[in-house]
Structure 1
Amino acid sequence: MPIASVDVLVVGGGPGGLYAAERLARHGVRVLVCEEHAAVGSPVHCTGVLAAESVDEFDLPRTATLNALTTARFVSPAGLVVEYTPRAPLATVIDRVAFDAALAVRAQAAGAELRRGARVLDLQPAASSVRANVGADVIDARLVVLACGANYSFQRRFGLGLPRLYLHTAQRELRARTLHDVEMHFGRIVAPDGFAWVVPVVRPDGEYVRIGAMASGDALGCYARMLARVAERWGVVADGVPPRQKVLPLGEIARTFGDRLLVIGDAAGLVKPTTGGGIHYSILSGGLAADVAIDALRRDRLDAASLSAYERAWRDQLADELDTQHALRSVVTRLSDAEIDSLFDLAQTDGIMPLVRKTAQFNQHRHLIRALFKHPPARRILFQALVG
């Protein structure tokens, strides 16, 4: 049973884990990334929409960009439509396989080792390391970074807690004959406690559409209804293959650090409570974890108290945003379809869109949420849902 030794073992080769690995390796840290699948970025669970500000902030690969999203259409249960076109493109659609592959190339170029098809079966804490079973191999790591997505077996084992809420998602990318602006559809029949989406995708070999739903219940049924709703207008060519389904965590775990342990991204429950988006938070938390790890490794202070600096760091940047998004979610999930329609009617007639244009940001929703709660007609509808 071969035993290898590294400074940091990253469990999971998604964007957050690969970004952390590159950052660590550039500081001379011996890093091993173990990705359980044969290829990074596959299978694809993500909608693959990334804010331009994220690309700039973290200097992310631009080679995986497919097309820009310039206008968003929001559709109410009754079919009311509100369109929003910002001054600059909302976001870009990316090829997740190519995006993750580019991050992997960067991490390896910086000196990190990447093992594909390498599932971490067990983690055993010891006095001076964490011993990991990876297939037939044993890895001793001074520090472990859990970047394993919505898989919480190790978090449960180490008493770190679980996300407070889970939703279910289902999505497929299909050929399309006619592309339109990105759409988000709301309503209890459409997607209870969530929404459904249609995202245009322009690839070198043709036009596609990503159709999906995020819901508290039957995501597969929500997907099927959404496909039926938009298929004719978008010219969707259905292939009979079922959508890929995923559990989506909404709400951070109780503790994102431990002795010789840090937890990032979806594995930490760091996902936008409003939209379920996770790439930005995964990369942000991966970078913060790497920074704390570099200092802790240098000082050889890898106990939980020392590594708690990581949680303080991400809370400083995200706690207010997460709390505000959760506050909105606690209200809007109580809205009836008629109340959702009333909000859309307000957006068409009563000054909500100027608030959107003034405060909306792709990665930060709290300013818009607070503006909505201060808007008297919108506030009446939202608070009626709480008391009614």
Structure 2
Amino acid sequence: MPELLAREARLPNPSARLSGVSATSTFKNARAWPCVIVRNPRLKVTAAWTGVLASIPAIARIAATRPITWLVTRDSGIISITYSVRVPAFPRSAPSRPSRRGGSRLLQEWFPKFQNGDPMSTPHDFDVIVVGAGPAGGMAAGTAAAMGLRTALIEEHPEIGAPAHCSGKLQLHAFREFHLPQHLILNTLQAGAFYAPDGTVARVRRAVPDSHVVDRAVFDRWLAHQAQERGAEVLLQTRLRAAERVNGTVRVLGERNGKPFAATAALIIDAEGARPVLPRTLGFQLRRRLILGLQYQMVDVDLDEPDCPEIYLGTESAPGFFAWLMPIGDRRARVGVCVDPHLAGRAPLHYLDSLLRGHHVVSRRLRRARIERKLAGSIPVLASRRSTGREGMLLVGDAAGHVKATSGGGIYFSLIAARLAAEAAASYVGGDRDALARYDRRWRERFGRELRATAMARLALNRMTDADLNAIVATIAADGRLRSTIERLGDTAFQSRLLAPFITQALRPAHLATLAGPVLKILRYGLRALWDDGISAEENVSDEVNP
């Protein structure tokens, strides 16, 4: 039995449902054929129609606007991709083995809308260029290449995955949805401990695990390897400085290995991260607020509960955000702090050193620990709700502000957006000019509510005093019913699910005396975030990225 390598991909109005290596068209005057495309030259290549195989690169670029389905299988070392595409009949004069260029001319003759400055009719080096080889970039490049697009994955550093920037916490949702391999996992998390400024601690433990901690370097390299295996070209040590629109295509300019570099594509998927360069050169207005983070990966850490990360709140520990201790297994942990430079008077290093030396819990856990490596980065926790798609470019991941403002996490949402962006790229390259706007709508439908809710929660938290935080943590610690609600409904990926139940519990008469101030702040921002047209964080961010 052939091994299924990819689910059946169904683009608009598929003409047939495929099984094995055969297809039956359901459209009159439509042609359907089986063929095999193998990017790895070590594997066998077969095709029913060699002429069609030679024209596949061009055919794939129109797939999104023509009916198409495909199924990827592997049997005895042969990878088979079975296509069914509804296209006009080949002209009788068509050569039996058309060249790649000739195939494109035939397609332009069949579909005149691809001419006159359309991405299909203008020659370019790639169909799509993905900038940045983090999780969003790797997923976008792999998905685009699997859909038959000529794809480049560009990374400015000499090695993918370095330097690492985040704690690597990734929800189980991502492992299930994207079929991620288990070898990426360093640790599994099922609980959480929240320390108030006065030292009070509230502990919660779910019935099932919520997240894994992954090795970000290994994860990024695995995604890039998957993209390369599917046909993407990976370009390292390539720093891009600008992008420009030229005759219906987009050109990127920069340096590769110290020499001038330029390439053209129908579309750029920008996954540069929190400080993107290219979008501004194409007219994007990136209004966002960055928090600054620093963390140490440490060994010989004394851990009471290896599956329980600890969060330290308060203006002394981390103004505008929080500090953390994230167990990653085998007496190892990542200890870090993020601060909002608008609210913090000192750099992150000051707060991290103070945490390590002065916090009664952290200093005890790290009394024999030593630093293994240091990681630093920026996170766009508050971003405007402006469009993330514009002619010639889509934004994904941190570049698009796909980050939960309460926790700073965004890998899962970045993977979702990257896949949607690649699907939009296939449609756009095929001539569907509505694909970019559709991408913007689709990612907002999937997780836009979470970004709004967590942004409003962050604004409320930033206006709370240490006394407010002490009251909230003490109430959770003392109220078993409230803890049970958090443990039952809490989901670090979809945090808005807990917002209304938490407010309802907090409004009970027993808590009003101590939680009146925090509840009013939560109501002011949180309830408005529950509406689909909830207020934007745009009024609370600046036009310029923080230094």
TM-score scaled by length of structure 1: 0.92
Q: Do the aligned residues in 2 keep the contact of 1:67 with 1:92 (CA within 8 Å)?
A: yes
Pair 1:50 & 2:178 matched: no
Equivalent of residue 382 in structure 1, options 512, 518, 521: 518
Equivalent of residue 139 in structure 1, options 263, 284, 291: 263
Pair 1:360 & 2:490 matched: yes
Tell me which residue corresponds to 2:281: 157
Instruction: Give, in whole Å, the separation in 2 of the partners of 1:50 and 1:122.
Output: 32
Q: Describe the shift of the 1:156–1:128 C-alpha distance in structure 2 as closer, same or farther (beyond 3 A).
A: closer
Tell me which residue corresponds to 2:383: 252
Q: Do the aligned residues in 1 keep the contact of 2:242 with 2:281 (CA within 8 Å)?
A: no
Q: Count how many residue pairs are aligned between Structure 1 and Structure 2.
A: 378
Tell me which residue corresponds to 1:282: 414
Q: Which amino acid aligns with 2:315?
A: R
Tell me which residue corresponds to 1:322: 451
Tell me which residue corresponds to 1:99: 219
Tell me which residue corresponds to 1:270: 402
Tell me which residue corresponds to 2:369: 237
Task: Report the alpha carbon displacement of residue 236 of structure 1 after superposing the two structures with TM.
Answer: 4.6
Residues 71-126 of structure 1: CA deviation (Å, up to 9, x unaligned): 21111111111111111112111111111111111111111111111111221111
Tell me which residue corresponds to 1:372: 502
Greater relative CO (CA pairs within 8 A, separation 6+): 1
Q: Do the aligned residues in 2 keep the contact of 1:163 with 1:269 (CA within 8 Å)?
A: no
Q: Describe the shift of the 1:240–1:35 C-alpha distance in structure 2 as closer, same or farther (beyond 3 A).
A: closer
- In structure 2, runs of 5+ residues without a counterpart are 1-122, 525-547
Instruction: Give, in whole Å, the separation in 2 of the partners of 1:342 and 1:234.
Output: 28
Instruction: Give, in whole Å, the separation in 2 of the partners of 1:68 and 1:78.
Output: 29
Q: Describe the shift of the 1:236–1:200 C-alpha distance in structure 2 as closer, same or farther (beyond 3 A).
A: farther
Task: Report the alpha carbon displacement of residue 239 of structure 1 after superposing the two structures with TM.
Answer: 4.4
Over aligned residues, Cα RMSD in angstroms?
Answer: 2.0
Q: Describe the shift of the 1:26–1:239 C-alpha distance in structure 2 as closer, same or farther (beyond 3 A).
A: closer
Instruction: Give, in whole Å, the separation in 2 of the partners of 1:344 and 1:57.
Output: 33
Tell me which residue corresponds to 2:331: 207
Pair 1:88 & 2:208 matched: yes
Residues 246-287 of structure 1: CA deviation (Å, up to 9, x unaligned): 221013342211111100000011101110002112111101
TM-score scaled by length of structure 2: 0.66
Task: Report the alpha carbon displacement of residue 237 of structure 1 after superposing the two structures with TM.
Answer: 2.6
Q: Please, which moves more after superposition, 117-126 or 44-53?
A: 117-126
Task: Report the alpha carbon displacement of residue 293 of structure 1 after superposing the two structures with TM.
Answer: 1.2
Task: Report the alpha carbon displacement of residue 317 of structure 1 after superposing the two structures with TM.
Answer: 1.4
Task: Report the alpha carbon displacement of residue 192 of structure 1 after superposing the two structures with TM.
Answer: 0.9
Q: Do the aligned residues in 1 keep the contact of 2:289 with 2:383 (CA within 8 Å)?
A: no
Higher-Rg structure is 2
Task: Report the alpha carbon displacement of residue 20 of structure 1 after superposing the two structures with TM.
Answer: 0.9
Task: Report the alpha carbon displacement of residue 179 of structure 1 after superposing the two structures with TM.
Answer: 2.4
Instruction: Give, in whole Å, the separation in 2 of the partners of 1:245 and 1:367.
Output: 31
Pair 1:347 & 2:471 matched: no
Pair 1:182 & 2:312 matched: no
Instruction: Give, in whole Å, the separation in 2 of the partners of 1:365 and 1:226.
Output: 27
Q: Which amino acid aligns with 2:171?
A: A
Q: Which amino acid aligns with 1:368?
A: L
Q: Do the aligned residues in 2 keep the contact of 1:174 with 1:236 (CA within 8 Å)?
A: no
Tell me which residue corresponds to 1:170: 294
Q: Describe the shift of the 1:257–1:4 C-alpha distance in structure 2 as closer, same or farther (beyond 3 A).
A: closer
Residues 126-147 of structure 1: CA deviation (Å, up to 9, x unaligned): 1221111242232111110100
Residues 10-42 of structure 1: CA deviation (Å, up to 9, x unaligned): 010001111011111111111000000111111
Task: Report the alpha carbon displacement of residue 4 of structure 1 after superposing the two structures with TM.
Answer: 6.9
Residues 217-256 of structure 1: CA deviation (Å, up to 9, x unaligned): 3322221122223133244533497x43322101334221
Instruction: Give, in whole Å, the separation in 1 of the partners of 2:168 and 2:208.
Output: 19
Q: Secondary structure at the match of 1:119?
A: strand
Q: Secondary structure at the match of 2:318?
A: coil
- In structure 1, runs of 5+ residues without a counterpart are none
Pair 1:28 & 2:148 matched: yes
Instruction: Give, in whole Å, the separation in 2 of the partners of 1:235 and 1:99.
Output: 31
Identity fraction in percent = 28
Q: Please, which moves more after superposition, 192-201 or 246-255?
A: 246-255
Q: Describe the shift of the 1:345–1:232 C-alpha distance in structure 2 as closer, same or farther (beyond 3 A).
A: closer
Instruction: Give, in whole Å, the separation in 2 of the partners of 1:114 and 1:227.
Output: 40
Q: Please, which moves more after superposition, 214-223 or 36-45?
A: 214-223
Q: Do the aligned residues in 1 keep the contact of 2:166 with 2:377 (CA within 8 Å)?
A: no
